[in-house]
Amino acid sequence: MKQGLSQEDLAYECDVDRSYISMIEVGRNEPSVTKIFDLCKGLKIKPSDFFKIVEGEYQRTFEQS
């Protein structure tokens, strides 16, 4: 969202179907490491930045309990 990309835009950048992006967002699909790299490329971020975002989400979700 911060980059103003729609699911369709990101799917195009990653060469995947829009429904695949949607399934990742709602937790119905877990991308492989290769797909994570593709997502990072599409988002124009480094994998380390991606995992910092994931870590932040983890902390908000599980460490507040």
pLDDT along the chain (65 residues), means of 10: 90 94 94 95 95 91 77
Distance CA 14, CA 64 (A): 33
* 19's tokens: 């429904």
pLDDT digits (tens, 9 = 90+) for 19-35: 999 999 999 999 999 99
| Annotated domain spans of the chain | 7-62
Percent over 70 (pLDDT), the chain: 98
Domain 7-62, CATH homologous superfamily name and number:
lambda repressor-like DNA-binding domains (1.10.260.40)
